[in-house]
Amino acid sequence: MPTQTGNIDLKQLLAATARGDEGAFATFYDATCGKVHGIACYILKDEALAEEVTMDTFLQVWREAENYREQQAQPLAWLMMIARSRAIDRLRSRNSSQLLFDGVGVAHDNDLIDPQRQPDECLMVNESSEQVRACFSQLPPIQRELLGLAFFKGLSHHEIALHSNMPLGTVKTHIRQGMARMHTLLAESANLELPNRT
């Protein structure tokens, strides 16, 4: 599988993202967001959930880019693996919630049930999603709007600029600031919870 999308070298972008280069991350996002959103929609058959999974996936990439190893997978395969895992986790979570409310089994989804997954792992997936939503709600309105267009609607930065009638540079700045703020809020949220888990 090629490591480039068009003339964009995804390996170099991931390496730069791992060093905290927000511009490289933005370019990586623009080159791959459609594929992530597509696989999330395919698995979940739900636009709203797919939007959340797209955001979760790229937040994980931002946090864990330094863990990428090209010997194990090509960048796009690594990204699709994260997206697929996030989507299946969300599907399991949704099915579990439906079971609690209506008491109906999900035997037809047994192929998605992982017997190795422990209850505390499922809880961590749900907590992570709640944390992302809680942190997202704390962003300034303009950052929420633009990040929403990027992660929830799967628009590129150029498309967001056209949609919002803003200069491309302004859009990129707001999105970078929003991502940085999300990173800080998620880190603070995780640190606040640590004492309760000991």
Parent domain of 189: 4-197
| Closest to 171 measured CA to CA, from 60, 18, 22 | 22
**H or E element in which residue 126 lies:** helix 119-137
Average model confidence (pLDDT) for the chain? 75
Q: Residue 119: is its pLDDT beyond 80?
A: no
d(CA 198, CA 193): 9
More confident residue, 105 or 40: 40
Query: How many structural domains compose the chain?
Result: 1
Please identify which residue in the block is written with the tokens 């999300």. 182
Q: What is the pTM of this model?
A: 0.53
Alpha carbon distance 92, 110 (integer Å): 10
Looking up residue 167, the CATH number of its domain turns out to be 1.10.1740.10
Condensed to tens digits (0 to 9), the pLDDT of residues 136-147 reads 888 888 888 888
- The two tokens of residue 19 are 């060093």
Tell me, what's the pLDDT at 95?
A: 59
